[in-house]
Amino acid sequence: MPDFSDRAELTRDAKFAARTRLLAHRRRLGDAERAAAARQVQAGLVALVRRLRPRRVTAYVPVATEPGGPDLPAVLHAALPEGAELLLPVLRADLDLDWAPWTGPDDLAAAGRGMREPTAPSLGRAAVTTADLVVLPALAVDRRGVRLGRGGGSYDRALARVPTTTLTVVPLHDGELVHTLPVEPHDRPVHAVVTPADGLRTLDDALPR
């Protein structure tokens, strides 16, 4: 009989090693390279938003070496149709995610884990279920749509609430769409990625049916 606890530990170790490697790669990127990548990622997401014309989008404020740049919410909001809404995550004490409307760059406050959060009243954890498009962070995604986050589990919980038919997209740096990643039973696949070199790329095995 297989030892499932040993298998789970091996998977967690593999995820830790992958995170360490990917974070080190991001730290090696120069400021100019990150800025250029941010512009290209933003262009890919803006094109998607203008094509889909969603009424509600969830996204986040990239920090440090995350692709997309700190002005990503402003860029996405400007691309939305009139009357549409952009929601950003609010980290709860239990590391789950609440959501609040983005009302401008001056209405963001520093929060835990380096995040910047909107100061508008929160709408509840279930607000993500009403989004037409979910843009979320990751360190890497594989060709099956398996996403590797930072290990806190916040987005795993949020994704578990998102209907499987809702388009989920991850901005990445070049080289972060990989062949395969370690996966655990709770991992939910994402449907597409946006990279500087290739723009939007849908992952056929993970597309909503």
140 within 8 A of 18, measured Cβ to Cβ: yes
**Strand 97-101 relative to strand 85-91: parallel, antiparallel, unpaired?**
antiparallel
- pTM value is 0.91
Q: Give CATH for domain 4-206.
A: 3.40.50.10420
Domain locations in the chain?
A: 4-206
Please report which confidence band the pLDDT of residue 1 belongs to, taking 50, 70 and 90 as the band edges: very low
Torsions phi, psi of 195, nearest 5?
Answer: -120, 155
- The 10s digit of each residue's pLDDT in 137-192 is 999 999 999 999 988 889 999 999 999 999 999 999 999 999 999 888 888 999 99
pLDDT at 60 over 60: yes
Burial class (CB in 10 A: 0-12, 13-18, 19+), 185: exposed
| C-alpha–C-alpha distance, residues 140 and 146, integer Å | 8
**Which of helix, strand or coil describes residue 100?**
strand
Q: CA Rg, the chain, in Å?
A: 17
Place of tokens 């959060």: 117
pLDDT, tens digit (0-9, with 9 covering 90-100), for 71-129: 999 999 999 999 999 999 999 999 999 999 999 998 898 887 778 899 999 999 999 99
Q: Count of alpha carbons within 13 Å of 126, Cβ hemisphere only?
A: 0
Nearest by Cα to 200 from 54, 42, 70? 42
Please give the helix or strand (H or E) that residue 169 lies within, else none: strand 167-171
Q: What is the pLDDT of residue 140?
A: 96
Would you state the structure tokens that stand for residue 48, as one six-digit string?
A: 């998607």
Read off the pLDDT of residues 110-120 as tens digits, 9 standing for 90 and up.
887 778 899 99
| β-pair partners for 140 | 148
Q: Is the dihedral of CA 146, 18, 116, 31 positive or negative?
A: negative
